[in-house]
Chain A
Amino acid sequence: MGIVADRKAFFENLSKDPPPPKVEAKSLSDAGNNASTLGGQPVGSTTSPCPQDKFKLINLILTVNAPNDKFVMNDPNRTFEVCATVNYEKSSDPNDLAALPTEVKFTFTDQPSPNTNNTDSFEYISGKYLGKNNDTAAVFWEGHSGNISTVPVTNDATNKKMTGKVNFKPSGVGGDGYKIKAAVQNGAGELTDESHTIVVWRKIKLEAYEMPMQNHVSTYGTKAIMEASFYTPDTFVEYELGAIHNIANTHKVKYIGLWSHSANSQLNWATHPQKLPSETPTASEIADANGPSGAAQTAAKAAIQAKANAWRDRIITAYTSGLDNWATDAGVPVNSLVAIEFEHPKYSAHAPDADSITNEWGGSDFSWLTIDVEGETPHPDDRWIGGVGLSRANCAYITAGDSAAATKNTIAHEAGHETKNQFKRKRFGSGDHSASAGLMDPFGSLDAFTNDEKKILRGLT
């Protein structure tokens, strides 16, 4: 940015000695002393035979407030300041300008041309599209309609420079790009400067919280890993892992689903699954359930089933309470990525068997017994669900025990979901999951975004 437009003239001018005054000037009234004037006519010397009442434009420098040549457009209404600075000097050359220019003209060109048509992009509000091409109502320059913005310049006579500013409103589609140009009238010609190509990007920033000893996110969710394999340049999504917040030791637990809010600690899993008296089948129920088929057996099995269900429900109630309270108690805000050890002995695929496999319904007495848990029908003493992570209350929990490859995939997937909270895009599909195989499908089918998923990340339809 900030290309000196007429470098040759500028350096040639610097190398010249100033023209010697023929007669010493007694007084030089300077139009620029009226700093608020828009260039304006200089009030020339009245006594000098060679008055410096002309102006020579040295250069025009364009600056666009877009670090790294990126318009980060998480907010489709975001604007970026564009500033043209014209440096000039006073001159006695009669061929130079009699007056300073009063306005600067800003224009832009699509790079590559044309940018995305409005109807090919995501309609984030009825009638409002991320793409701006072909949209006659689109506003590119704040306060101006059309593709050209002409703004008055402010003259700083002391420093002999004029500035004109305007806010640019690019498209919201990742990958759209612009070259912005500023021009001022310079006699019969123009003095101009043009920016590099500035490209529209969107950004996903994750806030991560890690339990002591659980560093899956800071290890596998780094910018380098995510941008090398998942958030590649063709997604036009910049990935940032924010500060890693350490969860206090007081909330370090093996299973967040066993968190007790009232006790401010983890439930004792050695005793928690033990059947309560009301959950314990009687000797006669067990005998009848394993006796000859008939009404007595049916009734006994139903009674035992009800007690097993009550046992299950008690564990699930405590589990749900743990999930509800642990994050709040640990000070983990919403929209966070949280590294934990495990979810619950009965719900975690990688929890040790010694925890997951209970012995409350063992032996042949209950070999026929199953319970319903989220559509699965395990034996109550088995691991119920092969969970490897969860998302709840806008927090994504990354658990221990997975391979590095699976953990990276999970973080990329969860970040993919989070993008919808941080910038405008179409949903990947039902439940924000892709219907076809992809990183965002509900089966973990691919280790990279598909072209269709990249289009959605860019803000296309």
Chain B
Amino acid sequence: MRRLVWICSLSSVSLLFLGGFIVDNALGTTCSTKKEIVLAGERDVCLLGGPIPIIVRYINHTTGTVSFRDPTKTWEVKLMVGRRKGDPKVVPFGQIFFSKKGDLERRTIKKAAIISLEPNDVYEFKYDVGHRWPELFVPGVNVIRIKDLSDDAETALSNEFEVRIVYDRSTFPMLLTIAANKESTADSLRFANDWIGLVYPGFSIATENLTDIQRDENRRRTVEAGAWWDAHKTDPETLKRIEDLNW
């Protein structure tokens, strides 16, 4: 991990002397000369639908103070998740809220602490991206990065972190929890619905603009699926289905 960080920094500094401010490093990526972002994970293997904790460090490589909004509440700070090949899914940590009252629609952002880093200072935070965005992950190797677009002149991009996602016997109950959680987003509900359905065929819940009746029905179906799981979680056929999902 440190080595990757060092490569990124060295490349930046080297090319900075050539007059570049945003540079391509040896990994074919771009990193910031002001804020370095170092990404790590607490675990290399995580469960689908379960916690996926990451550790993000911001390091000030300038000779002056660098200030920025709390990254976890900043729309310009993005999580990128994808397979090795193909475009990653990109989601912002912070949100821009669109709310309507009468004929006035307002766009707002939440208050956020301002982080000030002295030269070489490090700001670190932990975040469970699996809890917030379970739908971004699929079984297999998932590549995670952080991108910070706060500075128009310079995009800060972290190193890549690989996490292997596994669907095992602990996954199904966690998916049921997501399916039954009234705070789950439409995308998370769809995710839970799809992955439950691959082990327990025929499972189907409503996912968008839920009415109270639909919520009750979702709850009923989730309880039903839980009962099915208790009865069949060790069946060879069930285990085979789970095994197949990890290919």
Contacts and interface: CB of A to CB of B under 8 A. Distances in A.
Interface of A: 323, 347, 349, 374, 383, 385-393, 403-406, 409-410, 413, 429-431, 433, 435-437, 442-447
B203 interface: no
Closest 6 CB pairs of A and B: A444-B96, A405-B149, A391-B105, A442-B98, A435-B208, A443-B95
Contacts, number: 87
A349 B109 contact: yes
B187 interface: yes
Interface of B: 75-76, 90-92, 95-101, 103-111, 149-152, 185-187, 190, 208-209
Contact of B92 (A347, A386, A444): A444
A433 B101 CA distance: 14
A122 B107 CA distance: 29
A349 B74 CA distance: 12
5 contacts: A388-B108, A403-B152, A406-B75, A431-B100, A444-B95
B108 A387 contact: yes
Nearest to A407: B152
Contacts of A435: 186, 208-209
B91 A445 contact: yes
Contact of B107 (A390, A430, A436, A447): A390
A387 B98 contact: no
Given A349-B108, A391-B104, A444-B75, A437 B152 contact: no
A225 B110 CA distance: 27
Contacts of B95: 443-445
Contact of B110 (A386, A391, A406, A442): A386
Given A374-B101, A386-B109, A386-B110, A409 B96 contact: yes
Contacts of B110: 386
A410 B101 contact: no
B186 A406 contact: no
A403 B209 contact: no
B107 A387 contact: yes
A433 B96 CA distance: 13
Given A404-B152, A435-B186, A389 B107 contact: yes
A405 B186 CA distance: 25
Contacts of A405: 76, 149, 152
A91 B29 CA distance: 72
A393 B209 CA distance: 27
Contact of A388 (B91, B92, B109, B152): B109
A349 B106 CA distance: 12
A112 to B, nearest CB: 25
A410 B96 contact: yes
Contact of A406 (B76, B105, B185, B209): B76
Contacts of A446: 90-91
A403 B92 CA distance: 13
Contacts of A374: 99, 101, 106
